[in-house]
């Protein structure tokens, strides 16, 4: 997927959320699953492209899951809301 292509411009069979419903999580790549968590992209970058960049930056799901809120917010387009929702519940305070 090219960064400028928006998810809503894709055929439904290629959209991460619809693929999750139809095929199950085991049939989606990490970038698609993270894109679902992010819910939306940013100017000029789809949620999938943003997820691919996060994975490239952190190099693994484990490292991404261990990133602090401040580290995630430093990523362009990731504000406080996306930083919080992109962390697994096990990384929430008092979890």
Q: In Å, how far are 22, 23, 53 from 74, measured between CA atoms?
A: 34, 33, 13
Q: Cα Rg for the chain, rounded, in angstroms?
A: 13
Q: What's the pTM?
A: 0.80
pLDDT bracket for residue 3 (50, 70, 90): very low
Q: For 60-75, write each residue's pLDDT tens digit.
A: 888 888 888 899 999 8
């Amino acid at each position: 997927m090219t960064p400028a292509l928006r998810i809503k411009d894709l055929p439904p069979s290629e959209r991460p959320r619809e693929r999750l419903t139809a095929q199950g999580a085991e049939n989606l790549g990490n970038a698609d699953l993270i894109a679902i968590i992010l819910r939306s992209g940013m100017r000029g970058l789809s949620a999938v492209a943003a997820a691919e960049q996060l994975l490239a930056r952190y190099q693994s799901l484990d490292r991404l899951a261990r990133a602090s809120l401040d580290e995630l917010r430093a990523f362009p387009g990731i504000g406080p809301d996306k930083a919080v929702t992109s962390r697994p519940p096990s990384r929430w305070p008092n979890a």
